[in-house]
Every structure is written in structure tokens, then in C-alpha cells.
């Protein structure tokens, strides 16, 4: 009898756990439709992978640079780090994004949120170029980015001088973003590969302070896989980010893949209580993304990889981080146009 009762209790416990299991819908807040050669698996594949992964919305961007296949290289590289050939700023990436968006069936377009990225962050003409693009397709563009500034070895491969998030050219872009109510996604590494201090922090902190009316999305919270190859974990990141979130209400954090480990979870997938508490303290300021580049088969794995961390959050906060926070930073007129039931 005791065994029967124990079995019943175990079954009831498992059933309760099953009933309480959460199901998430996602917004992929960091997606590149094309790769570093401006090629893509295509919209049909992307829509299929979104549906399979439970992704309702995507940040829909190009890649602002193209990788050169150098005359002296016998084999075409597969990635920007595949060889030492340069990369160069490529404005046509936005033409590709606009074209792909217009191929989407009209009933599905609300799921795609095009961000404009094809400009040189060192060129003080860039704000004029962005304005032209906005005027060519009124209402199409919903954000600016991902803007490449400090970006590991890619920075040194791009022809021209190193871009900074706090230079004069970018200041002009931020003024334009405020004028058009556009969020800005910045890739601005917090440090270099070997410095164990926030070497480049002021480059992101100055725009946050000087442009309080611009909503900034900090890609990967300033981290990168290349930094982690040289120093596994930035010990100063948590305290720095906590201070910045308190100081700058216009800062939003993209937690895409380089943040999942070693910060949000350990190698076994166990959530870090410090990061759980921080996200819970600022429930509207974090979002997740896959950072897929032109190929979309890993989208589901990337997005669902956050589930254990999301499960550690209060349920309402988890759904905000998984889906709603990204939508909340889009232009106000876009938010008003989104279907209320979705």
C-alpha cells in the first residue's frame, strides 16, 4: 500500500510539474538575414524556421560589411575570419533587406522589423545616407543597426580607421535616430581580447549619457566569443552592467549567444542567481536573440537555449525577456500597428 501511495505521489508531482511547464513565444532581437558575403538561405527558409522555433518576431538586418575574396586566395573564405583579406563597408545590404521584406506575404510582414545598417560609422555623411534611405521607403525601417564599432579582429580587417561608438559621425546618427524615434543596436566591445578591465567602456557610455532620448540596444552587453577565447569570463562585467542599467534608463541589453555562457548559465546550463536577480530587477531592459548570419537552421536551438534561464525568472518577466521587450523598443507607431492578439 505504501508503494502504491508513493507511486501516486510521484505521479502527481510529475503531472504538476508538467502542467506548470512554461511555453515561450520569442522575438529574435538579433538576426542577420545575410552573411558576410551578402548571401542568404532565403525568406522561405527563414519563415519556416521561425514557425518551427516559436519565433513570432525578428529584428531583420543585413551585415554592414562584405568580406573580400582576395586575388591571392585560392579558396573563397567561409567567414570574415577565414583568412586575412579585408572587409569593406557595403551599403547595398539594406537594399537586400528591403527587397526581402517586400517579398514577404503582407499578412506576415508584421513579424519582420527591418533595421538599417549599411553605412560607415566613421563617415560624417552617414546620417545623410540614412535619411535618404528612410525617405526612399517611408515607414519601412524600424531601427538602426547592428552597427559595427569595436568588434574584435573584424575591426582590424575593415578597410579604413577603427570606428568608435562615440565619434562625431555617430553623434549625427544618434540625432537622426531620435528624430525618427528609431532604436539603435550597437556592437561596441567593452574591452580588448587581453585587457582585464573595461578598456573601451567610455565609447558606449558617452552616447548613453549624451543622447538620453535614443533607445540603445547593446549587442551582447559588449562581450564577444573572441574575447572569451582569450579570457574566459569578464569578472567586471556584472557590476559594470548593473551600474549602467541604474544610470541610463535608455540602455537595453541584447543577451544573444555570447552572454548565455559563461554569464547567464554555467556549462551545465544552471542559471546564475546573480544574473537572474539583475534581469528581474530590470524586467523591461533585456532581450534575447540568435545572432544567426544568413543561415537559419540553428535558430530554434539558439532561442530555446535560453529556456532554463527564463524558467528561473518570474513568469511575467520571462515572457517579457523572451518576446515582449524587443517589441517595446520599436518606434511607437510600429507598436500601435502590431496585432493585439499576437
Domain of residue 110: give its range. Answer: 31-337
Choose the weakest-confidence range: 54-63, 163-172, 223-232, 240-249: 223-232
**DSSP code of 98?**
H
Rounded to whole angstroms, the Cα distance separating 171 from 243 reads 23
Residue 290 lies in a domain: yes
Name the pLDDT band for 15 (thresholds 50, 70, 90).
very low
Residue matched to cell numbers 574566459: 232
At residue 309's C-alpha, the angle toward residues 307 and 312, to 5°, is 110
Instruction: Give the three cell numbers for residue 137.
Output: 521607403
CB-CB contact of 332 with 181 (8 Å): yes
φ and ψ of 298, to 5 deg = -90, 5
What pLDDT, on the 0 to 100 scale, is given for residue 20?
66
pLDDT tens for 117-127 read 999 999 999 99
* Per-residue pLDDT, 161: 87
Q: What is the CATH number of the domain that holds 62?
A: 3.20.20.140
* pLDDT score recorded for residue 84: 87
Quote the pLDDT of residue 18: 42
Specify which residues 26 forms β-bridges with.
55
The pLDDT mean for the chain works out to 93
* Max mean pLDDT range (20-29, 95-104, 220-229): 95-104
Average pLDDT over residues 223-247: 94
* Nine cell digits for residue 15: 503531472
Give the tens place of pLDDT for each residue, 314-330: 999 999 999 999 999 99
DSSP 163: P
Phi, psi values for residue 57, rounded to 5°: -140, 150
pLDDT surpasses 80 at 26: yes
Give the pLDDT of residue 229.
87
Cβ atoms of 30 and 256 within 8 Å: the answer is: yes
DSSP state of 32: B
CA angle 134/148/89 to nearest 5° reads: 70
Could you tell me the three cell numbers for 276? 537572474
pLDDT of residue 82: 85
- Is residue 114 one of the residues assigned to a domain? yes
**5 is a domain residue:** no
CA dihedral for 167, 172, 173, 174, sign (positive or negative): positive
- Sheet bearing 112-116, strands edge to edge: 26-28, 55-61, 112-116, 143-148, 184-187, 216-219, 251-254, 286-287
232 within a domain of the structure (yes/no): yes
pLDDT at 5 over 90: no
Q: How many distinct structural domains can be found in the chain?
A: 1
Amino acid at each position: 500500500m505504501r508503494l502504491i501511495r508513493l507511486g501516486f505521489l510521484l505521479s502527481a508531482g510529475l503531472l504538476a510539474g508538467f502542467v506548470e511547464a512554461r511555453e515561450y513565444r520569442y522575438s529574435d532581437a538579433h538576426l542577420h538575414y545575410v552573411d558576410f558575403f551578402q548571401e542568404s538561405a532565403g525568406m522561405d527558409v527563414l519563415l519556416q524556421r521561425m514557425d518551427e522555433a516559436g519565433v513570432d518576431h525578428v529584428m531583420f538586418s543585413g551585415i554592414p560589411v562584405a568580406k573580400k575574396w582576395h586575388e591571392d586566395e585560392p579558396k573563397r573564405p567561409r567567414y570574415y575570419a577565414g583568412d586575412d583579406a579585408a572587409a569593406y563597408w557595403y551599403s547595398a545590404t539594406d537594399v537586400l533587406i528591403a527587397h526581402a521584406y517586400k517579398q514577404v506575404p503582407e499578412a506576415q510582414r508584421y513579424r519582420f522589423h527591418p533595421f538599417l545598417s549599411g553605412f560607415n560609422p566613421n563617415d560624417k555623411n552617414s546620417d545623410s545616407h540614412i535619411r535618404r534611405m528612410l525617405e526612399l521607403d517611408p515607414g519601412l525601417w524600424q531601427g538602426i543597426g547592428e552597427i559595427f564599432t569595436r568588434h574584435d579582429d573584424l575591426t582590424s580587417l575593415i578597410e579604413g580607421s577603427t570606428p568608435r561608438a562615440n565619434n562625431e559621425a555617430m553623434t549625427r546618427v544618434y540625432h537622426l535616430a531620435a528624430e525618427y524615434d528609431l532604436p539603435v543596436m550597437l556592437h561596441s566591445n567593452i574591452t580588448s581580447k587581453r585587457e582585464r578591465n573595461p578598456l573601451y567602456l567610455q565609447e558606449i557610455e558617452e552616447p548613453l549619457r549624451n543622447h538620453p532620448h535614443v533607445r540603445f540596444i547593446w549587442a551582447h552587453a559588449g562581450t564577444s566569443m573572441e574575447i572569451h577565447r582569450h579570457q574566459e569570463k569578464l569578472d567586471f562585467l556584472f557590476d559594470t552592467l548593473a551600474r549602467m542599467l541604474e544610470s541610463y534608463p535608455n540602455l537595453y541589453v541584447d543577451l544573444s549567444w555570447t552572454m548565455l555562457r559563461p554569464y547567464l548559465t554555467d556549462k551545465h546550463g544552471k542559471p546564475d542567481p546573480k544574473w537572474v536577480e539583475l534581469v528581474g530587477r530590470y524586467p523591461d531592459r533585456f532581450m534575447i536573440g540568435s545572432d544567426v548570419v544568413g543561415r537559419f537552421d540553428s535558430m530554434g536551438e539558439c532561442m530555446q537555449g535560453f529556456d532554463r534561464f527564463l524558467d528561473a525568472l518570474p513568469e511575467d518577466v520571462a515572457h517579457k525577456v523572451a518576446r515582449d521587450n524587443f517589441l517595446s523598443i520599436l518606434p511607437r507607431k510600429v507598436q500601435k500597428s502590431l496585432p493585439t492578439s499576437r
